[in-house]
Amino acid sequence: MYDRMQTLTQEQMNKIHGAAMDILQNTGIAFNEDEALEIFKSHGFKIDGKKVFFTEEQIRKAVDSAPSKFTVTARNPEKSVKIGEEDFVFVPGYGAPFIAKPNGDQREATMEDYDNFCKLVQTSKFMDMNGFMMVEPSDVPPETAHLDMLFSSIVLSDKPFMGSPVSKQGARECVEMASIVWGGKEQLKKVGPVTVSLINSLSPLQFSDEMAGALIELARADQACVIASLIMAGSSGPVTLPGVIALQTAEILSGITLAQLVNPGAPVIYGSTSSAMDMKTGGLSVGCPELSIVVSATAQMARYYNLPSRSGGGLTDAHIPDAQAGAESTLALSTAARNGINFILHSAGILGSYIAMSFEKYLIDEEMCGVIRKMIKPMEVTDDSIDVEMIQKVGIGGQYLTQPKTFKLCRTEFFLSNLMGRQNQAGWKAGGSKRVDEAATEMLSKRLASYEKPEISPDIEAELSEYVMRKKKG
């Protein structure tokens, strides 16, 4: 296999690993959470105040106990997914406070928007998992918004979903809601991970109490966690990317170690969405090539440790689904998939460096997920897929259009475009000369209209609903 994009050599990875070990051993990582400090202390880690220091052996032991691949079970078992090694998932955008309207204006996101994204995920051929906080809803109380979102994620879709890492309490509630769906805590333990949650470090070299607390709760319940850094090269991390990779490796491995101390074998993912600060504006850029370089290096470093990896996907700095959005997003998404990232978050919908989700952009990115999935699928070379007999029968100067095989495979052999125009110019003009984002606006209402709520036991739905109500009151 040859790909020109091989960001790091083995020797370079050894060097980055060495630097990360140096940072972990000598600078340490701050955990602003008492239980985390207790756990490290009880396992004989060196502690100074909130700072925890790690030896290479301690890190190695933790990394070795983490699985290289695991299954996330969906409430519809046919939709369960595997994460790790050759298996990967596309997951929608995460954390945007605004909805980008088709003209580029923004409005505050609502629960209705969140629900509509759940419906788009459920009706998608290419989105493998439902997200969490696909938008931050402004019309529900922020303290309990995670309960509303989890309820929608579970009830409106039967795909695996992302969990709530908002706090220790929020993580516990996520596990409790999953227990309701799977028939109790014991049963949930037997099933294994049913959620993947996003735990972010606070770069440089810290974990907040919310994130460390949520990590402990989720690892304890055997729920999968992405441990991720978002380092802005030049502001919250070094300006040079090798320094960024070393710094993120130190942060991620410390989080993974905590999870493994809590529950050896807990499923974890080496994650990063580090990128460059734009030196002209001071803002985060995710449409830049540096993002894709970090994506590639992240996939390589995760493989170096035999861990599943996570990066961003369809990311852009553009504010409207225009040519910039398409180019930047597809480059990053393709880099993630081709370099072997296993959990591709932000696969669809993000605009303006995470500030907004766009329904139109979601639909365009989603189609690219299908395109990329098709592109990297290994080719099956068999006597039948070559078919010398047919080639000889058609002979020199013949045609294949009326071959029975062409007829038989004409709907399945090639990727069928849903959104990307393939008509000639006359046909395109006759159809109203629509740009792809305009076609997406039209498709959106059709997709939402095609949505059917997946089956769920009325008792479970009622119990979930009652749980959310009770927690909101309390």
Partner 1 sequence: MAVKDIFQAVLEFDEAKVSELTRKELDAGTNIQSILNDGLINAMDEVGKQFSEGVLFVPEMLMAAQAMKAGLGVLKPHLADTDNKPKGTIIIGTVKGDLHDIGKNLVGMMMEGAGFNVVDLGVDVDTEKFVQAAKDNDAQIVALSALLTTTMPAMEATVASLKESGSGVKTMIGGAPVTEAFATKIGSDGYSDDAPGAVELARKLVAA
Q: How far is the CB of 404 from partner 1 (least distance, A)?
A: 9
412 binds partner 1 (CB under 8 A): no
Tokens standing for residue 327: 């180019």
- Report whether 162 contacts 132 (CB < 8 A): yes
Question: Is residue 237 within 8 Å of 274, Cβ to Cβ?
Answer: yes
Pairing label, strands 195-200, 224-229: parallel
| Residue from the set 382, 402, 433, 450 that interacts with partner 1 by CB under 8 A | 402
- Asked if residue 376 lies in contact with residue 339, where contact means CB atoms within 8 angstroms, the answer is no
Rg, Å, the chain Cα set: 23
Q: How far is the CB of 422 from partner 1 (least distance, A)?
A: 9
Smallest gap from residue 427 Cβ to partner 1 (A): 7
Local structure of residue 96 (DSSP, 8 states):
B
Min dist. Cβ of residue 341 to partner 1 (A): 34
Q: Give the shortest CB-402-to-partner 1 separation in angstroms.
A: 5
Nearer to partner 1, 14 or 407 (CB): 407
| 210: exposed, middle or buried (Cβ count in 10 Å: 0-12, 13-18, 19+) | buried
Give the pair of three-digit tokens for residue 83.
Answer: 């994460």
| Contacting residue, 105, 323, 427, 472, with partner 1 by CB under 8 A | 427
Answer whether the bond into residue 142 is a cis peptide, omega within 30°. no
Which of the stretches 163-171, 349-357, 405-413, 460-468 binds partner 1 when contact is defined by CB under 8 A?
405-413
CA distance 219 to 67: 13
Our finding on whether 401 is near partner 1 (CB under 8 A) is yes
**Helix or strand or coil: residue 272?**
strand
Rounded least distance, CB 372 to partner 1, Å: 24
Distance CA 471, CA 433 (A): 51
Q: Is there binding between residue 465 and partner 1 (CB under 8 A)?
A: no
* Of 10, 26, 103, 424, the one binding partner 1 by CB under 8 A: 424
CA–CA gap between residue 177 and residue 134 (Å, rounded): 19
* C-alpha to C-alpha distances, 302 to 245, 299, 393, nearest whole angstrom: 11, 5, 50
Stretch that binds partner 1, among 70-78, 264-272, 407-415, 460-468 (CB under 8 A): 407-415
Per CB under 8 A, 415 contacts partner 1: no
Please name the amino acid found at residue 296: S
3-state helix, strand, coil in the chain (%, to 5): 50, 15, 40
From 25-33, 258-266, 313-321, 397-405, give the range in contact with partner 1 by CB under 8 A. 397-405
Q: Smallest Cα–Cα separation from 345: which of 295, 277, 419?
A: 295
User: Which among 144-152, 156-164, 329-337, 400-408 is the span making contact with partner 1, rule CB under 8 A?
Assistant: 400-408
Give the binding range for partner 1 (CB under 8 A) out of 23-31, 255-263, 399-407, 453-461. 399-407
407, 462, 469, 470: which one binds partner 1 (CB under 8 A): 407
The dihedrals phi and psi of 108, each to the nearest 5 degrees, come to: -65, 140
Q: Using the rule CB under 8 A, is 426 a contact of partner 1?
A: yes
From 6, 406, 445, 465, residue interacting with partner 1 (rule: CB under 8 A): 406
Q: In the bound complex, what is the minimum distance in angstroms from residue 444's beta carbon to partner 1?
A: 19
Which residue of 411, 432, 446, 452 would you call a contact of partner 1, by CB under 8 A?
Answer: 411
Which residues in this chain contact partner 1 in the complex, by CB under 8 A? 399, 401-402, 406-407, 410-411, 424, 426-427
